[in-house]
Amino acid sequence: MELGLRERKKEQTRQLLADTARRLFTERGFENVTVTEVARAADVSEKTVFNYFPTKEDLFYNRLESFESELLAAVRGRSPGESVLAAFMRFVSRPRGLLAEKDASEELRAITTMIAESPALLARERQIFERYTASLAGVIAEETGAAVEAWIVSNALIGVHRALLNYVRRGVLAGRSNAALARGVRAEAKQALALLEEGLAGYAVKRG
């Protein structure tokens, strides 16, 4: 559905703020940039920034909101006969963002270093993963009616995602290329799938 003029302008402002913050963070480091400076560089008020991003950390992690919605859509929209496990693993094993760009290794390394060196970013990331876990558990529970089992499955699956993310970050900091890391993610995801299949392969198979 096509967005109206107001919605398009809001999305453009959001993207401007995210792009401006990303540039400043990359140039100077996350801890060395204030929200006021982001607002000034984007030619908006500080209040406008907070209207779109409640915290400075959310400016940094702005892409993770769309990741969450895409993940939940992949699980909800899986084909009849496909398990939650299969849909989830197919989604997280696909390179996206900077990892999918051949010439973005340096930017990815800079961002990875910023995260590793910032307690505030690491803390916010843990909160985001907790939200992912709760959201995914909610989707599974809606379908199965088994809240406890849904929570167990969701924690296992988000745990896989976090393990793959940590794999990528270690590789980035070690200087591995994006192409090599993308291949590695697919291989590690395949192993994780094999590890979980025995217990989860038949769980929550969607009925036709």
Domains of the chain, by residue range, sit at: 5-56, 63-200
Residue 94's pLDDT band (boundaries 50, 70, 90)? confident
Q: Indicate left, alpha or beta for 128 from its phi (over 0: left) and psi (-120 to 50: alpha).
A: alpha
**Is 63-200 assigned to CATH 3.40.50?**
no
Query: What is the mean predicted confidence (pLDDT) over 100-125?
Result: 86
User: Domain spanning 5-56: which superfamily?
Assistant: Homeodomain-like (1.10.10.60)
Give the span between the Cα atoms of 95 and 99, in whole angstroms.
6
Mean of pLDDT values over 70-97: 92
Tokens of 118: 């910032």
pLDDT at 146: 95
Residues in the chain: 208
Backbone angles phi, psi at 81, to 5 degrees: 90, -5
Residues 6 or more apart from 171 whose CB is under 8 A from it?
Answer: 180, 181, 184
Reported confidence tier of residue 3, pLDDT bands at 50, 70, 90: low
**Mean of the pLDDT values across residues 178-203?**
86
Burial code (b: 16+ CB inside 10 Å, e: under 16) for 100-121 equals: eeeeebeebbebbebbeebeeb
Structure tokens belonging to residue 89 = 């693993």
* Digit-coded pLDDT (tens) for 42-52: 999 999 999 99
pLDDT of residue 44: 94
Q: Which residues contact 150 (CB under 8 A, 6 or more apart)?
A: 137, 138, 140, 141, 144
Tens digits of per-residue pLDDT, 124-175? Answer: 999 999 999 999 999 999 999 999 999 999 999 999 999 999 999 999 999 9
**pLDDT tops 90 at residue 24:** yes
Average pLDDT of the residues in 24-39: 93
